[in-house]
Chains A and B, each alone.
Chain A
Amino acid sequence: MGEPNHLRRLTLIWLIATLVVTPLVVIFVGPIMPPGNASEQSAGHVTDNTVLLGMATPVLLLLLIYLAYAVIFFRQPQGAVLEGPQLRGDTRIQTAWIVVTSLMVLVLAVYGSVRLLADNGAGSGSGPSPVAKPSGPKLPVQVIAQQWEFTYRYPTYGGVETPHLELPRGQMVELHVTSLDVIHSFWAIQLGVKADANPQVDNIAFVKPTDLGRFEVRCSELCGIWHGQMFDYGHVVTPAAFQQWIHQQQVIYAPVTKELPPYKTTYLPEPTRRGE
């Protein structure tokens, strides 16, 4: 009995496993991928993570199946110390390797670019002039990072600033993220928003919250001794509740609103006379 065609057998096993396992992973694991579905952008992230998982599953299966196959069929007889045949100059293997890996990288690059544009930046900070902008009305909210707290300014509500973040459900929000001191990063985890907060930079990110409830806000750039304490919770509320809340904030912070500089996309705060 001659040597079986290992490549054919392996390919067959891998194909069957891929056809069975990949749909199961996509159907059952995909929906629980982070960051959840609290906004259109985070739902997009779940879709993207599911696609990546679906692409990674056949690769992982190939590795695991080959490992198991080798352990079973290419096991050395006890006591024997044999080296396998060396393969050199196998053009088919080299070509297949280069073509398959290049295709995977290119497909991912194209997919990522399309998704970024289609989803208006997918919740990421897109700089002061985003390439993709959503149409329709947007609620501008400025995120001001400072050591070690985020504060928020609502320019369409008299420029009121508040230490709390509330957003109305179903409204496209245009976040203008900046910093007054060092580099921070604004991360609204469940909303799928992450944008660097750099001094004198207006970093714009778009998000449309879809679920009511609480979301976590963290700084995701090591920014000093209390970086780990730079977290808070924001809330997505109904449009009516948002109107009520923002008017309360305007009343509470009316005295200090008069002290604030006019709304700008970035600030160059003074004084720095204690510094070098």
Chain B
Amino acid sequence: MSLLTRKLLGVGAAVAVLGVLIALYISSWATSFPASVSATPAVRQGGANLTLETVAAIGPKYSPSHPDWVSYLVRRGGKWVRSTIFSVPAHSIVHVTVYQYDGDSGLRNPFLSQVQGTIGDTETVDGKTVRGIDPEEASHTFAVPELGILVPLPGVPEEAKNQCEFAPCEGAAHRTITFSFRTGGKGRYHWQCFVPCAAGWLNGFGGPMQTLGYMDGFIDVT
């Protein structure tokens, strides 16, 4: 085998290895996209139920790569899963329950502390119906700007005992928030948190605030 042939084979092998590595990286990236979770039918009320949870740190069980990131979780089949892509039926009422395990951070814009776009423009916080919360007490928001939906979520008080460090958080101190909204026609809408809640990032705006699957995602109206 000539020197030229050996060189060509070497270059060819290196290119092939590089190609395989790139393909592996792309397939890993593509398959790490959060799975869509469907809302369950609300038998008694009609419409659909969506049950969510917010945690200060997602923990290694749900996100080995970013265990300290703040995150939403969604209940599917009785278990909590890390996904922020929700599928809800068109032209129906979606009843949302959020178990809020995180402390408060406060809103940069107090305007976002008023409930907007839900049925009655209200939410319930631990069973009490309210039209808004103290902006300083906001921990997160559940907002779908395109649909005009904005729900501020108050944080767990600092003095509360049994604070949850990282998910799973069952049994820890929490707030329970419920609200309902009507869906229109089919479409994909982004939702997000407006509170700068990403600990350790400049002004709280990086990391989980800028990565699909933690503090923002999509609502697929199907």
Contact = CB atoms under 8 A, between A and B. Distances in A.
Interface size class, chain B: 35 or more
Contacts of A261: 110
Contacts of A146: 108-109, 194
Contact of B200 (A182, A253, A276): A276
Nearest to A230: B145
Contacts of B108: 146, 180-181, 269-270
B122 to A, nearest CB: 11
Interface stretch (A38-46, A49-57, A78-86, A221-229): A221-229
B105 A274 contact: yes
Interface string A249-261: 0000101100111
A151 to B, nearest CB: 6
Contact of B216 (A163, A226, A259): A226
Given A182-B205, A256-B132, A269-B108, A148 B192 contact: yes
A181 B192 CA distance: 16
B221 interface: no
Interface string B181-214: 0000000001010101111111111000111100
A259 B132 CA distance: 10
A272 B196 contact: yes
Nearest to A268: B108
Given A181-B196, A261-B110, A224 B205 contact: yes
B55 to A, nearest CB: 14
Nearest to B117: A163
Contacts of B216: 225-226
A271 B105 contact: yes
A163 B148 contact: yes
Nearest to B199: A274
Interface in A198-253: 224-226, 229, 232, 253
Interface of A: 144, 146-149, 151, 161, 163, 180-182, 224-226, 229, 232, 253, 255-256, 259-261, 269-276
